[in-house]
Amino acid sequence: MKSALPIIIRKITGISLVFPLILLLTNCSGNQAKKTEQEPARPNILWIVADDLGTDLGCYGDTLIYTPNLDKLASQGVLYTNFYTVTAVCSPSRSTLITGMYPVSIGTHQHRTRYKKPLPEGISPITYYFRNAGYFTSNGTYSNKNKPGKRDYNFVADSIFDGTDWTQRKENQPFFSQIQIHFPHRPFLHDTLHPVNQAKVILPPYYPDTWLARKDWALYLETIQFLDQQVGKVMDRLEKEHLLNNTIVFFFGDQGRPMVRAKQFMYDGGIHTPLIIRWPGEKNKGTVCTDLVSNIDVPVATLKLGGVEVPGHLQGINFLDPQTPKKKFIFAMRDRRDETVDRIRAIRTRDFKYIRNFYPERPYTQFNAYKKQAYPVLSQMELMHENGELTDVQDRFMMDTRPVEELYNLKTDPWEIYNLAGDTAFENKLVQLRELMDSILLTYDKGIYPEDPKEIDFAKKMMAKRYKKLMKQRNLPENPTNKQIIDYWKRRFKKFE
């Protein structure tokens, strides 16, 4: 273990503090850390899950945002810099978290399904295994002990959780609990106490540098600050209830940013999210782990922490075990999202991203009612595309078609904007990842295509109805122009000036 990162300045409770983040180079299990107290044989385990969160936190290097509670949590635990989700939308990603299985291997890959089915025979939510081992399981919200948390799983099952809060357990019974926090899911909020200076926002190069884009990004960061407040309240509660010394706390997002070219897509903006694990006492305090980790690995590691036998069908690894070989790549997927039919698969290694588009004849920006009504920058980019006002980099995402394959060198191109799939200098890498993808698809991808037309028709009608209702609430036409939508957002955002 040695120091390998620069000292980072954080603001905690209004005071600037300086602390070094220590990089654990040999393994990220923390077994090398000195133990300061006897660990309980059966620890409590808590997942705090944010909705639509990129790595835009102070402890991840964002200097515009005010996240004292998450920065503090990172200083007390392990911060993972390379944590990715198997997909970039909530329901299939959460189905992975609760089953330890890839969505395409168990039929939970389509987002928003009417005819939800039971899990395949032999597959159960991991809460069943915790329950059989004597754990109490719960899923709730940070503010209401009696309100269940988000349960977007795309399958039906009986009694996934025992309750909504760990206080409902028997005396001295260990718990595996989840607390779901809605932020920073859209619609965004304005933080009047710690407003983000939109003039200092650094936008990705694939967005136009406009007032609207900057304001939207600033409000996203401010909404994360509300998330931070709620995480602080959860941690305060654990302390008041004297649970910190026997509870392992996981904090992570269900996917990446709720932004154009991020949510629902396979670029890092859509699948890269924070992971922080706080252990009881001083164990692993203030360390940083650079290992590749997928959220499919979290269920396996969590079961192991509780001393629960891990069923052989789970598809992740125990990334907390120093004896487990490190992950060399993560596998991610995109399928139908609401009414929008698509199929994309991706492999991410440390240095490269390979993406395969199964519908290259369709644009990236197929109509999607949710994104059209929620993402102001999408309408602005569509209008600027029509007027020829986008740069070449920005315009690529607005094309009518897309390549079958995409290959990005993440070391030199972290924004994933220069497709190397046709570059002869990278032909060997392309072939290598293409063959790896073929092998993965044969092993894990059990998705049936095309999907039942009844499901697609249901989603189209449902989303069309929602879109029509929202346009009416906003005093817009049933099918507004891009300019009308942009003007609406400008009027709304001006109220936050």
Residue at token pair 């295994």: 129
| First-last CA distance in the chain | 47
Token digits for 359? Answer: 């519908």
- Over the stretch 193-233, which tens digit does the pLDDT of each residue have? 999 999 999 999 999 999 999 999 999 999 999 999 999 99
In whole numbers, what is the pLDDT of the chain averaged over residues? Answer: 91
Over the range 271-287, which residues count as b (16 or more CB within 10 Å of their CB) and which as e?
A: bbbbbbbbbbbebbbbb
pLDDT of residue 282: 83
| Position 474 in a domain | yes
133-185 residue pLDDT tens:
999 999 999 888 999 999 889 999 999 999 999 999 999 999 999 999 999 99
How many other CB atoms are there within 10 angstroms of residue 395's CB atom? 16
pLDDT of residue 20: 32
Asked if residue 389 is part of any domain, the answer here is yes
Using one digit for the tens of pLDDT, what is the confidence trace for 332-359?
Answer: 999 999 999 999 999 999 999 999 999 9
Host domain of residue 207: 8-27+43-494
pLDDT at 306: 97
Number of domain units in the chain: 1
Quote the tokens at residue 134.
Answer: 């004597």
* Any domain includes 264: yes
| Structure-token pair, residue 476 | 């817009």
Residue 5 has pLDDT above 50, yes or no: no
- Report which residue type is found at 433: L
CA distance 72 to 12: 8
For residue 437, which of 404, 415, 469, 393 has the smallest C-alpha distance? 404
Instruction: Give the integer Cα–Cα distance in Å for 170 and 135.
Output: 10
Label residue 186 by pLDDT band (50, 70, 90). very high
Reported as a pLDDT band with limits 50, 70 and 90, residue 13 is very low
pLDDT over 90 for what percent of the chain? 86
Average pLDDT over residues 103-132: 92
Q: Please give the DSSP secondary-structure letter assigned to residue 281.
A: T
On whether residue 21 sits in a domain, the answer given is yes
Q: What share of the chain is helix, strand, coil (3-state, %, to 5)?
A: 35, 20, 50
User: Is 35 within a domain?
Assistant: no
Contact between residue 439 and residue 454 where contact means Cβ atoms under 8 Å apart:
no
Residue 32 in domain: no
Q: What is the mean pLDDT of residues 442-451?
A: 86
Residue 33 domain-assigned? no
486 domain-assigned:
yes
Give the domain CATH number at 75. 3.40.720.10
